[in-house]
């Protein structure tokens, strides 16, 4: 499954292979958390996935809470930062911003299969175990600004009155992230469809901007 296990013996290992155990524990945790959920994953399972003993988790992270802290700090938060790093064009036009956010989100997903289940299950979900930790790091001002620019569009009559600007970002997650959570590592939906990241990005963008209407013009 993961890297070559290379029989581990008691005592400090030789410095030959550049095996960063701490990093591989974080990776292992992400894999298992994405697969079975945080609450259902034991420390021992993480250690096993990483090919080390449970005591290593204690050695590097002291306890479960600190492991979660490290995960958020080192793996998840940087991604959120990246998704919300917008160009000036995007800041000026909420539709452009949404397009950019979707594109960066899905680009992030492509190289991080653990992201969608984790985001949906442990961050977005009310009782997700990363939610509180990540909430402090969310770019709330940007979310608010987005809702406000959409509200301005709406006031001008440039947006359907039934749309709720405050719900738009959750809708983006539903359109861009949820399909990947549903498809899993194999990127296949139960109906038999294979998910191409680019195609999902185009679909989500088109649906968000135009809905099920003809292409404009």
Partner DNA sequence: AGATTAATTAACGATATCGTTAATTTCAAG
Partner DNA sequence: CTTGAAATTAACGATATCGTTAATTAATCT
What CA–CA distance (Å, rounded) separates 22 from 217?
54
Report which secondary-structure segment, H or E, holds 92: helix 88-92
Q: Which is nearer to DNA, 40 or 152 (CB)?
A: 40
Q: Which is nearer to a second copy, 51 or 117 (CB)?
A: 117
Angstrom CA distances, 147 to 24, 89, 127, 173, stand at: 39, 17, 25, 15
Instruction: Tell the smallest beta-carbon distance from residue 127 to a second copy (Å).
Output: 5
- Residue that the structure tokens 């080390």 belong to: 52
Q: Which is nearer to a second copy, 17 or 44 (CB)?
A: 44
Stretch that binds a second copy, among 2-10, 61-69, 81-89, 170-178 (CB under 8 A): 170-178
Instruction: Tell the smallest beta-carbon distance from residue 13 to a second copy (Å).
Output: 33
- Total residues at interface with DNA (CB under 7 A): 26
213 near a second copy (CB under 8 A): yes
Let me know how many helices (H) and strands (E) the chain has, helices first.
Answer: 13, 0
Q: Under DSSP, is residue 21 helix (H, G, I), strand (E, B) or coil?
A: helix
What CA–CA distance (Å, rounded) separates 121 from 214?
34
Q: How many CB atoms lie within 10 A of CB 93?
A: 13
- What sign does the CA torsion over 181, 186, 192, 197 have? positive
Question: What x/- string results for residues 20 through 49 when contact with a second copy is judged by CB under 8 A?
Answer: ---------------xxx-xx---------
Residue 183 β-bridge partners: none
171 near a second copy (CB under 8 A): yes
Binding site for a second copy (CB under 8 A): 35-37, 39-40, 94-95, 98, 117, 120-121, 124-127, 131, 135, 138, 140, 143-144, 150, 153, 157-164, 166-168, 170-171, 173-175, 177-179, 181-186, 189-191, 193, 199-200, 202-216
């Amino acid at each position: 499954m993961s890297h070559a296990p290379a029989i581990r013996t008691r005592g400090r290992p030789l410095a030959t292979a550049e095996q960063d155990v701490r990093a591989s524990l974080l990776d292992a945790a992400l894999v298992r958390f994405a697969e079975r959920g945080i609450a259902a994953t034991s420390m021992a399972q993480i250690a096993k996935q990483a090919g080390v003993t449970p005591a290593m988790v204690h050695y590097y992270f002291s306890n479960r809470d600190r492991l979660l802290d490290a995960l958020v700090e080192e793996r998840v938060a940087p991604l959120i930062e990246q998704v919300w790093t917008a160009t000036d064009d995007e800041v000026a036009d909420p539709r452009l911003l949404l397009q950019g956010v979707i594109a960066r989100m899905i680009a992030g997903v492509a190289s991080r299969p653990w992201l969608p289940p984790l985001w949906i299950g442990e961050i977005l979900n009310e009782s997700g175990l990363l939610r509180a930790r990540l909430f402090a790091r969310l770019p709330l001002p940007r979310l608010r600004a987005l809702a406000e620019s959409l509200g301005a569009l709406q006031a001008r009559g440039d947006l359907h009155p039934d749309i709720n600007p405050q719900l738009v970002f959750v809708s983006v997650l539903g359109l861009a992230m949820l399909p990947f959570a549903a498809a899993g590592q194999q990127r296949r939906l139960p109906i038999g469809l294979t998910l191409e990241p680019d195609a999902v990005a185009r679909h989500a963008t088109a649906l968000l901007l135009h809905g099920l209407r003809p292409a404009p013009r």
